[in-house]
Amino acid sequence: MAIEKIQEIYVSNIIPSGSGFALNPDGVQVYIPVAVTRFFNLQICETVKAALIPNKNDKNESTPYMAVRIIRDEPAQPAPIANDENLEALITRLIAGGDVWSQGKVFAVLFPGTSRDAAMTDYNRIGYLLRKMHENGTLARVSLWRNANQTKPGREWFTSDPDWFAAFMESDDEELTADQ
């Protein structure tokens, strides 16, 4: 993937999935993948320098470029998250796609470039809210207990699509039945 050009772009829209769109100085539309908008904490109405490549997924030729990296003179700061209600809304939007998420993965996306040790309060808030959302029926959860001496699970995974875990468990049950 060769960078075709580096240009300033104006972020004109970020859609609910997290993907974004921008305009270059010539008024040509640029697609911004969700990974780029979240990792670089892009905001609507922000002007940034971006590395652009041809957008080979542009079926109707309306968005000829895709931003693959944002170039900043100073490191991006995580967006402020004022309270648990805002954080829960962000987690809900993030997990809505049905993927499986751990507490660490959610933290890495919401607080890019921040170490867990530097933001332990926020890391713990994420864990608390993920478990609360599970208790409220918003998320499905799978926990791993390495041994009976643990007082809490060693790892937990969450998803908005409980069928993901169910399908995994059913395929495991079928293997056990076939082996017995």
**If you write DSSP's letter for every residue of the chain in order, what string do you get?**
----EEEEEEEEEE-TTS-EEEE-TTS-EEEE-HHHHHHTT--TT-EEEEEEEE-TT-TTSS--EEEEEEE-SSPPPPPP--SHHHHHHHHHHHHTT---B-HHHHHHHHSTT--TGGGHHHHHHHHHHHHHHHHTTSSEEEEE-SSTT-SS-SEEEEES-HHHHHHHHHHHHHHHHHH-
Place 31 in a pLDDT band, splitting at 50, 70 and 90: very high
Start-end ranges of CATH 2.40.50.140 in the chain? 5-71
Per-residue pLDDT of 9-23, as tens digits, reads 999 999 988 889 999
- pLDDT surpassing 60 at residue 158: yes
Q: What is the pLDDT of residue 9?
A: 94
- pLDDT surpassing 60 at residue 173: no
Start-end ranges of CATH 1.10.10.10 in the chain? 84-179
Of residues 116, 119, 111, the one with CA closest to residue 39 = 111
Q: What is the pLDDT of residue 30?
A: 93
The span from the CA of 29 to the CA of 37, in Å, is: 15
CATH code, 84-179: 1.10.10.10
How high is the mean pLDDT of the chain? 80
Does 5-71 carry CATH code 2.60.120.380? no
Per-residue pLDDT of 132-146, as tens digits, reads 999 998 888 888 888
User: Of 30-34, 56-60, 74-78, 160-164, which has the strongest mean pLDDT?
Assistant: 30-34
- Over residues 44-52, the mean pLDDT reads 90
Per-residue pLDDT of 115-131, as tens digits, reads 777 778 888 888 899 99
The amino acid at residue 54 is: P
- The residue length of the chain stands at 180
